[in-house]
Amino acid sequence: RLLIIDFGSQVTQLIARRLRELNVYCEIHPYQKVTETFLTAFSPKAVIFSGGPDSVVRDGSPRPPKAVYDLGVPILGICYGQQVMMQDLGGTVEAGESHTAEFGRAYVTPTEQRIDLLNGWFLDGREQVWMSHGDHVSKLAPGFEVYGTSPGAPFAITADLDRRFFAVQFHPEVHHTPNGATLYENFVKLAGFSGDWTMGAYREEMIQKIRDQVGDKNVICALSGGVDSSVTGILLHEAIGEQLTCVFVDHGLLRLNEAEQVVKMFRENYNLKLIHADESELFLGELEGVSDPETKRKIIGKLFIDVFQKYANEIEGAEFLAQGTLYPDVIESVSFSGGPSVTIKSHHNVGGLPEKMGLKLVEPLRELFKDEVRALGHELGLPASFIGRHPFPGPGLAIRCPGEITREKLEILRKADAVYIDQIRKHGLYDEIWQAFAAILPMRTVGVMGDGRTYDYALALRAVNSVDGMTADYYPFTHEFLGETSTRIINEVKGVNRVFYDCTSKPPGTIELE
């Protein structure tokens, strides 16, 4: 296995991700934890030093134990990691001045001699890389040579081939270094990794980690039926079985048959201990007469916590709360992954729960990106229809029903949404679209059906493509599709006589209507 020593870079997890893509198993450990004893016990086959925010010229700045250089295994130092290596081994690093600092895109060109680390590099004579450094190496450590230079970093790529120590000034793990993955591939190859690690192995490791963390204590998990919480629940169930209780809070704002489907899937396929908390009366009661979007959200958020707490209190000896937090949820606030200084940005849907209830967190997906969670879900046997589901917001249909929420409107909305999604599936578009749903508008309009006048609700259909939900483009359905869908909804759903298609992108619109 490969050890990543984390010096606090914001993109350390991306190194791990690049390695997982190469089917290489790695672990990230904060530098404070990596002592000589730790190194011996870990026995890495290769080591990577991450970047970091500190300056190596500062006294007391983060270092690895010197013993790391005597392990006889390949080491790759990145950015701060390069500077650490140079200074530790007898080179010189100079503190940043404005003319030597380099941030953003740069181009590295090769020196004369080619090395295995750079196989597949410089095919066009130069490589685009991402730089982000203030300090720079000014004198190489003995044994090192330069293999690539950039205008701001004469020592952009350096190596001591005898000891298999490599050190680069840029960040090969980020997308802005387009050929960066190749560099990691070459590194793990020369370190002797066969690349046969799989998501199946990750699953086993996660299970062991959960067992180590939880011991014989009980865990509760808020299951929403979304991919993240589902994968979290199943993983925990595999790890600790009966010690886990999942609570599925049904706030009465779910889609057609959704609650039944979710509960059935988990009970039948996984035999999970699952409490179906049907609290729709409570939620809908409190929401009666409320039409302000923020007030709605606040009511739902608060009730969710109250309800969850009520059920959790009935579970004896629960000391842990499991959450499906993903890496992008923590990326902004992590200073050292898994380290003592981590600030947790709680999942917005259960925000505030752990603090309020005095629970410790179990977050098995903290290191993963969405697509990796899907792969893990697949590995755990979650049906493909579950894994590929469009995102669904915590407040549910409440934010797709602008104005006052009534049971009548919710019923119309559920039926219309089901027809719309059925249409999308029938046309083979579901997986092409990031998120699609119907919303019911707070207005009635006049229509004519048969020989009679109608005065019914209007619907808005929404479909967007997006990468992360932060920005989005409306989906360009054909007119045929829209016409057919409108006809079907009006014919099949009583109470609707008009259908609009929302062709607003984000910005200026948001994806949800509220």
Residues acting as catalytic residues: 79, 171, 173
For residue 369, give the nearest of 1, 5, 14 by alpha carbon. Answer: 14
The annotation status of 473 as a binding-site residue, yes or no, is no
- Whether residue 468 is annotated as binding a ligand: the answer is no
Distances (CA, A) of 346 to 301, 333, 396, 425, 446: 13, 11, 19, 34, 46
Residue 110 within binding range of ligand XMP, rule CB under 6 A = no
Q: Which of residues 487-506 bind ligand XMP (CB under 6 A)?
A: 506
Give yes or no for residue 325 binding ligand XMP (CB under 6 A): no
CA separation (Å) from 63 to 43, 68, 156, 338, 464?
18, 10, 21, 18, 47
Candidates 435, 485, 486, 497; binder of ligand XMP (CB under 6 A) is 435
Choose which of 30, 252, 364, 393 interacts with ligand XMP (CB under 6 A): 393
Q: How far is the CB of 9 from ligand XMP (least distance, A)?
A: 28
Q: CA nearest 144: which of 100, 90, 81?
A: 90
Question: Which contiguous run of DSSP H or E holds residue 441?
Answer: strand 435-449
Nearer Cβ to ligand XMP, position 175 or 298?
298
In whole angstroms, give the CA distance from residue 196 to residue 287. Answer: 53
- Candidates 88-96, 387-395, 401-409, 424-432 — which segment interacts with ligand XMP by CB under 6 A? 387-395
Cα separation of 324 and 311, whole Å?
19
Residue 110's identity, in one-letter code, is P
Residue 409: its H or E element: helix 407-426
395 binds ligand XMP (CB under 6 A): yes
**By C-alpha distance, which of 228, 259, 240 is closest to 330?**
228
Site string for ligand XMP, 467-486 (x = CB under 6 A): --x-----------------
Closer Cβ to ligand XMP, 196 or 294, answer by number: 294
Residue among 263 and 397 whose Cβ is closer to ligand XMP? 397
Find the binder of ligand XMP among 152, 391, 403, 447 (CB under 6 A): 391
Q: How far is residue 502's CA from residue 170's CA, in Å, rounded to a whole number?
A: 44
Query: Does 349 contact ligand XMP by CB under 6 A?
Result: yes
Q: Are strands 2-6 and 26-30 parallel, antiparallel or unpaired?
A: parallel
DSSP 8-state secondary structure symbol assigned to residue 233 = H
Residue 394 in contact with ligand XMP, rule: CB under 6 A: yes
What binding mask, one character per residue, do residues 242-281 give for ligand XMP by CB under 6 A, x or -?
----------------------------------------
226 is in an annotated binding site: yes
Binding-site entries for ATP:
224-230
Residues engaged in binding ligand XMP (CB under 6 A): 348-349, 391, 393-395, 435, 469, 506, 510-512
